[in-house]
Amino acid sequence: MKLISIKRETKPEVRFTKKMGALSTNVTYIKKQFLSIPYKTLHKYRETYYGEVKDCEHISLVK
């Protein structure tokens, strides 16, 4: 049994951009886990409609 592992998880989220407004997209999270309990997000990114991969720090969440 590993103590530390890395897991990738994809889930749909609603994001907001100034040009397009509300945008529903799949966001992929890469998380570090200790004994199967996630404790740190290493990276999160999304794939655009055109197939580009973009970092999620440029787009804010809709609240």
With H, G, I as helix, E, B as strand and everything else as coil, classify residue 56.
helix
pLDDT tens digits, residue range 8-59?
Answer: 999 998 877 778 788 788 889 999 999 888 899 888 888 777 777 888 776 6
Q: How far apart are CA 27 and CA 25, in angstroms?
A: 6
Whole-prediction pTM: 0.72
Q: Which residues contact 52 (CB under 8 A, 6 or more apart)?
A: none
Residues whose CB falls within 8 Å of the CB of residue 15, separated by 6 or more in sequence, listed in order: 22, 23, 24, 25, 27, 46, 56, 59, 60, 61, 62
pLDDT confidence bin for 62, thresholds 50/70/90: low
pLDDT of residue 8: 93
Give the integer Cα–Cα distance in Å for 37 and 60.
Answer: 26
